[in-house]
Structure 1
């Protein structure tokens, strides 16, 4: 064999590697969802309208106008009779929470969803290679992620991450972290646990901008099992197509529009300012500039580029609030964060969606309330319970968090999704149940009918 032939043969593996490298890299970027579980509280933890009113009336610092404001906020929130609250608040101990209250709330949510997940999938906790827990307002030591490692006796080389302060967008942020880690650790199983701590963070003051959180947030959480092992592809229910994050914290108004703080009398709470909607719109616009070209067909992008100048301007020359694109040309399902009915409707209008598209978010809000970062998984659960999710379709998860950040991701449905979940006992009553008269209306005659603005 001459030198030239030998050299050519020696270069063959290099050429093969170069040809296969893009394929291997795509395989390494794979991120599949194998299963997810959402938390459903016990009946004794339900916050019906009467209980909510009693909790409001326990705050002796409030005057008649503050009572009116709170009850009108609950009336307009879109929340129903069957949401869940923390034990200490239902027991009347919201002014004196202790560390055990916070741990108990977290344990119930995390252990319940993970126990169910392990039982449903047959996966052992020892098989988990990556664990991410996000709880914005409760960063104890040892961390909550260490608490899970200890309870489930997970392996010693697990890659564990505990995220705090990320707000309602933390679940998608955690997904982004996992898919980046998947590029490093091959054939791995990962868990993302998302919830929020309400027990020690009940606001007992009278600042209206800080009282809103008491009305809107409810107990909830989710656990999601992911993998980058292509051998498990046939077991996956969804595949991650893209994640995009946009941060507008450089702007002072956006940074301060949603913030944990103390009021003028020293009461701790969570401030939501009038600039929140503006910050959310700005962050979402930045996000969609990157996201949309990745998920919409070229035909729709071309159509939009031709007609954009007309779509952006109304008859009076002012900018339109709608983005002008037909998102449904590339996305079939929309997991809008179930934060508040007005917010859902605002996002739906901005994205050009109809009532069918926003229905899952409105129903999730009515049944489970605003469960912070886990809320979008309750929305997905509603779609699955209604048997809407079909193989090959795309689902967009929209999330926003304090800071201010917009974090969105798109999933491709890998198989028809129709398994029973936490909606199984109530799905037959929706959407009709949410259209019945608001449970708060008619009970409090001293509440006037003026529209609430905040």
Structure 2
């Protein structure tokens, strides 16, 4: 072989190896690692126990016996426990006259609590953060919440910040999707996502049954988490993002209007939940599964499903063939139970979601992280396990992602001092049940009119 040919062959080989290294390096730096997350546990003086919730209901003088009965029945069936948290204006009996400052104070308490702990536990300083994403669905401020955080922690002036609103309970995974795309474009990035919901200015004080349910479910909370694509953090990271699929049915009028923030006939602001919401949630969920199942399930399970479908038999996907843990949005007992049945899950599979709903309530977009925290505190997350996070949001949206556990996890987080008491023998609130019985006896003398809105 002539020397020229040898040189050309060597150059081609080197070029091929360089391109191979470049592709490998790019793929390696496009990973999205979850380094740490911190859930917010408000102070005990913000707890909404049975007696206090009863006082709140009693303060609403426009509620008649039928509305009282409906509201108490909804609370009993919601799965909410005795120790969820509310904003200070409700604790101070000011739910009818909230101020902008009430909502901002609620968010500031969450931001400072979780971010202080996040920086302390990870050893990453605020000045090292490259990307900041804040997701608060139903409250905005000027300057934005991201600006408030940047000012408080004196972050760099070249930080990329994003302030998301209106995303509903699915906002957390939307924020995650945004960060994932940034990590694919830039190397060695630290990103923080802070996700919460402001309850303070959004408490409904009217008597429209289709707008009263949110008071029964939504509670104060939030979560901040640190993400990076730095390969040096792989050994320290808890999870690696494998797949993320987003589904949006906003082009359908029926889906778009099934969950809306609006005023009732008397001008009272609240969230309207349409009877078509379960139908739209199911449709969005099915479409989302269609997108994510081929990514997570083993080939033999997909082939089995296709063959069964072709033969005309009843074919169902065994999602547990590719998933070890199910992190379901704790939107309410009915939501959890419906997903459990549709996916063929056991009670143990949905236990983390039920217990999160019982202890912390529905904290909107941050709820998923309390569910994840329960799994970790119970020491169920082992290296190599796959976790499927599923969230729903107004619009109507269904977003889900799959994480891979990078090491055995056992951090107690917000569950640390109470985890041994879960699950309790029963999540039924006997006090609420007795109150419902009393209301029923009172209302039976006044009216036998059937409910117009079934919870």
**Normalization by structure 2: what TM-score?**
0.94
Instruction: Give 1:225-236 correspondences, 5 Å limit.
Output: 225-236=226-237
**What are the equivalent positions in structure 2 for 1:16-415 lying under 5 Å apart?**
16-308=17-309, 313=314, 324-415=316-407
1:446 and 2:438 matched: yes
Task: Show the counterpart of 1:318.
Answer: none
Residue 421 (str. 1) matches residue 422 (str. 2): no
Unpaired segments of 5 or more residues in structure 1? 314-322
Aligned pair in 2 of structure 1 residues 273, 290: CA closer, same or farther (>3 Å)? same
Q: Using the TM superposition, give the Cα deviation of residue 440 of structure 1 relative to its aligned residue in structure 2, in angstroms.
A: 1.1
Q: Distance in 1 between matches of 2:312 and 2:222?
A: 39
Kept in 2, the 8 Å contact 1:324–1:352? The answer is no
The Cα of 1:22 is off from its aligned counterpart by 3.3
How many residue pairs end up in the alignment?
445
**Aligned mates of 1:140, 1:213 — CA distance in 2:** 23
| DSSP-derived class of the 2:349 partner | helix
CA 75–230 in structure 1, closer or farther in 2 if over 3 Å, else same: same
Q: Is the 8 A contact 2:79 2:428 kept in 1?
A: no
1:408 CA displacement: 0.3
Aligned partner of 2:424 in structure 1 is 432
TM-score relative to the length of structure 1: 0.94
Q: Secondary structure, in 3 states, of the residue corresponding to 2:434?
A: coil
Please give the per-residue CA displacement for 1:14-50, whole angstroms capped at 9, x wherever unaligned: 3223323432232132000010010111111000111
Distance in 1 (CA, whole Å) between partners of 2:431 and 2:233 is: 46
The 3 A distance-change label for structure 1 pair 292 and 46 is same
Render the CA deviation track for 1:294-353: whole Å, top value 9, x for unaligned: 00111111111122368975xxxxxxxxx8211111101011111101110001111110
Distance 2:30 2:81 in 1: 41
Contact 1:101 1:199 in 2 (8 A): yes
On the 8 A contact 1:390/1:416 being kept in 2, the answer is yes
CA distance in 2 between counterparts of 1:262 and 1:238 reads 42
Query: Structure 2 CA distance, aligned partners of 1:365 and 1:312?
Result: 37
CA deviations 1:160-180 (Å, max 9, x no partner) are 100000000000111111010
What secondary structure is seen at the aligned counterpart in 1 of 2:437? coil
Change (3 A) 1:72 1:161: same
Alignment RMSD (CA, Å): 1.9
Tell whether the 8 Å contact from 1:312 to 1:324 is kept in structure 2 after alignment: no
**In the TM superposition, what is the alpha-carbon distance from 1:94 to its structure 2 partner?**
0.7
Q: For 2:415 and 2:3, how far apart are their aligned partners in 1?
A: 72
Superposed displacement of residue 11, structure 1:
3.9
For structure 1, which segment, 364-373 or 428-437, has the greater mean C-alpha deviation from structure 2 after superposition? 428-437
Alignment partners' CA distance in 1, 2:162 and 2:28: 24
**Structure 2: 5+ residue stretches without partners:** 442-449
Question: Would you say the 8 A contact 2:65–2:439 is kept in 1?
Answer: no
State whether residues 81 and 427 of structure 2, in contact with CA within 8 Å, keep that contact through their aligned partners in structure 1.
no
Distance 2:86 2:313 in 1: 43
Structure 1 contact 40–220 (Cα < 8 Å) conserved: yes
Distance in 2 between the 1:44 and 1:438 partners?
23
Deviation at residue 383 of structure 1 after TM alignment: 0.5
Could you tell me which residue of structure 2 aligns to residue 320 of structure 1?
A: none
Cα shift readout 1:263-289 (whole Å, capped 9, x = no counterpart): 111111111111111111111111111
**Do the aligned residues in 2 keep the contact of 1:81 with 1:439 (CA within 8 Å)?**
no
Contact kept, 8 Å, 2:73 with 2:436, in 1: the verdict is no
